[in-house]
Amino acid sequence: MFSVQQSCWFIRKVICWRAAASIAWAVLLLPPTTAVFVIFSRFSIFHPVQWISECLSLLLSIGAIFSLILLCGVVIVIGFLNLEYYTVIPTIACSKIALLGQLLHPRQFFNSLVHCIMGMIVAWCCAITIGGRYETLGYSCQQRGPTHMCLNEYHLFLLLSGAFTGFSHSLLGVIHNMNYVAFHTVQQYKYLRFKGSIPLVVKCSATQALYSLRNFLIVYYFLGHMPKAWLCKTLNLEVDSSVHSLDTVGGLLDLSLLYHTWISASFLLFTWYTTLLLFRIFVTELYNFPVQISFTDDAQQCLPKVIAEKQPMILKFLALQDLALLSQHSPMRRAEVFSLSQPGGHPHNWNAISKECLWLLSDLTQRLVAHHDTVATNGRTKSLSTGSERKSSSEASVTSGDDPFSPRPAVLLKTPASVFARSMSGGPHSPLTAPFTPDLDSPFSSPSLRRLTAPVEQYSPWHGTVQSPHIFRRAPKLWSTSTDSKTNGSPPPSPAPVLSPKQESSKPGILARFLKNRREQVKNFMAKRVLVMYLFNKLPEASSQALFADSQAHIWALEGLSYLVQASYTEDQFGVVQTTLPSIFNSMLVLQEAVDRHFKLPHASSKPSRSGCTMEDCSYKTLRFALRATLKTALYRITTTFGEHLNAVQMSAEHRKKLQHFLDYKE
């Protein structure tokens, strides 16, 4: 992310300095953290005086200082990886195969390799600090003479444990979206946030270290002889037969070895989690953008300009967060939003802010409608009804009209009623629907479903007046003979279409039909395999979570719009907000209809299960619930402020009826 967006002024002047500050604080916290590790690693309850004196002498030794310098380098590398891989929109895998693709991505492979190396370096520093039998990789064999060197398997065990912990940390970061940076709803000072999160960091570090130790013991028991044999051959070391091997049950049950390995893994994870926590706290700190600037050179840093930027996303999110907060707590900055330009007298600030917020709401509405259409087409078909037709007209009102402030999306809004007309508006490969459900060419779509969604030919008896989806289930022999037509009173069969030479030449050849049939056979065969179904089946809540992954921006847009509209009742001296009230209400009400329809789908309204003790921020899993609550609150905020004055706002009859429910507190 840093390499792609380093040309942006915000990345250079703000984000890089914030990341550097978080790394500096993580480095400053290393000496007390290392001192605590030394105390626990040399713990001796029966000799307290000797224990304290050894800890003090070790902390002042040259080896400890050199280890501390190496640890500082590791923290700097981890901090740079946090800056490189962070995101404000989580990447949600909708299936097992998609998650496997993320884990095997070359970018993730490099990340895992770096974490492995850093974990081994931290483990080496821990081995030097603990001392004793963990201090060196080789030692002189007394039985075979002073010139022969034997492998110290305890030191090797600790190094491999650090590499395995680093690798596990990297994989868990992808699975649990630990690179996701969430914004806190309640604004706090950085010190208070860090102080409140330290107990969680300690608990997560100790717990994850236990899981990592358990998994490493299993791996070392089966594969521990391989690195041991390779090291002995490469470094010309020998295996001491008098020492019990560690890749056995008896060798792995050494309590002192298990304790030191666990405390080393806990120290490693604590330093990395602390670096990640500080990075999250510093990056998500509130940034105040000026609403308007007198100098044209800094015009790109104004809030109306910044809020319309597409990249980097951290800039857009911080701008929307600033908009939501200024609309609530800053009357002076709200006055700048409502002000008119000089000369000219145009509300450029309000126009730019409201246009971008309405575009965000319209974009989410389109995605929700497209997702609902796709789900309905994939088997949950719905017959046409007058209610759905009314909804289609109300939804189309968002993008139609001559309102200059209404968003103009690139794709026309569709309603879930037109489930059999998907091919006319982009087909199953539409970019709005592709991330959420597999297309009809997937090996798991039934042949009957493909027949239902196939385009209708012009000369087919199904072309024209047939509208009910139930008539597709009739047998084709209804139209086969003329006798049946006479007895049943049905119209005579349509004449056979005459194919033009161009149509005949466009028909697929024998080889193409053969390859297509073979492909269908392979798809049907693979669809019956249990492992393939396990990998390709969609996860229960993944589609809904992916659909609302960036909804934090929509939540801030709703809050900013609603608070500004509420404040305009008493603060808008020029009436700039009143001209956009129809567009605002249309966007909000259509979005509420789409959200309510989405929550009627399977798994959309189910609460996500609580994850284990990890540093994962699970707030993105409940963004759809927060958006629904924010949307309803925004509508109530406006209706309670304006009251019966809203009857003068132009809107459709259905929207007026819906708005009346909010005025009567019936929603």
C-beta of residue 94 within 8 angstroms of C-beta of residue 435: yes
pLDDT exceeds 80 at position 453:
no
Token digits of residue 324:
């939501």
Residues 255 and 141 in one domain: yes
Q: Report if residue 63 sits inside a domain.
A: yes
Q: Report if residue 304 sits inside a domain.
A: no
Q: Of 374, 464, 460, 449, which is closest to residue 419 (Cα–Cα)?
A: 374
Q: Report if residue 241 sits inside a domain.
A: yes
**Residues of the chain above pLDDT 70, percent:** 77
Please tell me the predicted confidence (pLDDT) of residue 506.
56
Residues 143 and 228 in one domain: yes
Provide Rg for the chain, Cα atoms: 32
Does 56 or 537 have the greater pLDDT score? 56
C-beta of residue 428 within 8 angstroms of C-beta of residue 379: no
Packed helices 48-59 and 62-85: angle between N→C axes, nearest 10 degrees: 70
pLDDT exceeds 70 at position 438:
no
Residues 135 and 274 in one domain: yes
Q: How many structural domains compose the chain? A: 2
Residues 229 and 344 in one domain: no
Residue type, 304: P
Please tell me the predicted confidence (pLDDT) of residue 591.
94
Alpha helices in 339-446 (DSSP H): 348-377, 386-399
224-249 tens-digit pLDDT: 999 999 999 998 888 887 788 888 89
C-beta of residue 249 within 8 angstroms of C-beta of residue 53: no
Residues 278 and 336 in one domain: no
Across 69-90, average pLDDT: 94
Cα separation, 581 vs 225, whole angstroms: 73
Please tell me the predicted confidence (pLDDT) of residue 610.
63
Residues 147 and 276 in one domain: yes
C-beta of residue 311 within 8 angstroms of C-beta of residue 301: no
Please tell me the predicted confidence (pLDDT) of residue 162.
95
Residues 274 and 379 in one domain: no
CA angle, 416 as apex, 414 and 421 as ends, to 5°? Answer: 65
Residues 145 and 31 in one domain: yes
Please tell me the predicted confidence (pLDDT) of residue 613.
56
Q: Report if residue 311 sits inside a domain.
A: no
Last residue of a domain, one of 242, 263, 283: 283
Domain range enclosing 240: 9-283
Residues 200 and 345 in one domain: no
Please tell me the predicted confidence (pLDDT) of residue 402.
41
Q: Per mean pLDDT, which range of 38-47, 83-92, 121-130, 416-425 is the poorest?
A: 416-425
Q: Quote the pTM value.
A: 0.78
Does 507 or 39 have the greater pLDDT score? 39
pLDDT exceeds 60 at position 449:
no
pLDDT exceeds 50 at position 473:
no
Q: Report if residue 625 sits inside a domain.
A: yes
Please tell me the predicted confidence (pLDDT) of residue 244.
83
Across 279-302, average pLDDT: 86
Confidence of residue 273 (pLDDT cuts 50, 70, 90): very high
Task: Count Cβ atoms within 10 A of the Cβ of residue 301 and give its class: 0-12 exposed, 13-18 middle, 19 or more buried.
Answer: middle
Q: Report if residue 504 sits inside a domain.
A: no
Residues 160 and 85 in one domain: yes
Confidence of residue 95 (pLDDT cuts 50, 70, 90): confident
Mean of per-residue pLDDT scores for the chain: 79
Last residue of a domain, one of 283, 312, 346: 283
Confidence of residue 538 (pLDDT cuts 50, 70, 90): confident
Task: Count Cβ atoms within 10 A of the Cβ of residue 553 and give its class: 0-12 exposed, 13-18 middle, 19 or more buried.
Answer: buried
377-426 tens-digit pLDDT: 764 434 333 344 444 444 444 444 444 444 444 433 333 333 333 333 34
Please tell me the predicted confidence (pLDDT) of residue 472.
42
C-beta of residue 284 within 8 angstroms of C-beta of residue 183: yes
Last residue of a domain, one of 249, 283, 317: 283
**Residues of the chain above pLDDT 90, percent:** 40
Beta bridge pairs of residue 149: 140
Residues 279 and 336 in one domain: no
Q: Report if residue 515 sits inside a domain.
A: no
Q: Per mean pLDDT, which range of 270-284, 464-478, 582-596 is the poorest?
A: 464-478
What phi, psi does 606 have (nearest 5°)? -85, 140
Q: Report if residue 38 sits inside a domain.
A: yes
Q: Per mean pLDDT, which range of 20-34, 253-267, 379-393, 524-538 is the poorest?
A: 379-393
Beta bridge pairs of residue 180: 87
Q: Per mean pLDDT, which range of 328-337, 490-499, 500-509 is the poorest?
A: 490-499
328-365 tens-digit pLDDT: 998 999 999 988 887 777 888 899 999 999 999 999 99
Please tell me the predicted confidence (pLDDT) of residue 416.
38
Please tell me the predicted confidence (pLDDT) of residue 279.
96
Across 304-330, average pLDDT: 91
Residues 214 and 98 in one domain: yes
Cα separation, 359 vs 471, whole angstroms: 40
